[in-house]
Amino acid sequence: MRARYFENAVAEIMDKTGEYSELKLRRALTNSRMLSCDVSAGYDPSYAGMFEKKNAAYLGKGVCFNKYTGSRGKSGSNDANAEFMGKLRAVMEAGKVVYQTAELGKVDQGGGGTIAYICALYGMNVIDSGVAVLSMHAPWEIISKADLYEAVKAYHAFLLNA
């Protein structure tokens, strides 16, 4: 994302339609809404100290939305605004999507980076979304098939109604 591929692709599309200008490109990016598809760390009782139990993602509780990510005190992270969160909740509820919100590990303990913060630099509304993964980056990772199904429903509802 730092290579500006996305920005250039949007500029090319606008140019092909005869609508390109630098200002229109900036406005298009700012007026965009995005689900940054990634995974979230699933709560692992064997490593409970790495999670805030009330803010963790759980397997079998639906697609997960991480309002903010990051590490080292959550520096350099994206933080979805309340209006976007409200719109997202309405879209998910209308689509009968089972979802949960979480943080990506305890502040100063867990965390990770995604591309959401890069897209947010354009001013677009963006949030990380995906399924909870138990034992992420380990030889044996586990997800819930029900969560995967809800993620597909969530992306479909978002594309149709956001």
- Is residue 147 a contact partner of residue 57, using CB atoms and an 8 Å limit? no
Same domain, yes or no: 26 and 89 = no
Same domain, yes or no: 3 and 74 = no
Tens-digit pLDDT profile for residues 24-40: 999 999 999 999 898 88
Residue tagged 């200008």 (tokens): 21
pLDDT at 158: 97
Tens-digit pLDDT profile for residues 90-133: 999 999 999 999 987 666 555 566 778 888 889 999 999 999 99
Same domain, yes or no: 72 and 133 = yes
Tens-digit pLDDT profile for residues 41-75: 899 999 888 888 898 999 999 999 987 765 555 55
Same domain, yes or no: 21 and 43 = no
Same domain, yes or no: 60 and 127 = yes
- Write the CA distances from 44 to 49, 105, 142, 151, integer angstroms: 9, 11, 11, 21
pLDDT reading at 142 higher than 90: yes
% of the chain exceeding 90 in pLDDT: 60
Reported pTM = 0.86
Burial of 79 (0-12, 13-18, 19+ CB in 10 A): middle
- Is residue 129 a contact partner of residue 37, using CB atoms and an 8 Å limit? yes
Domain of 92 in residue numbering reads as: 33-161
Same domain, yes or no: 39 and 23 = no
CA 146 to chain centre: 18
Counting the structural domains of the chain, the total is 2
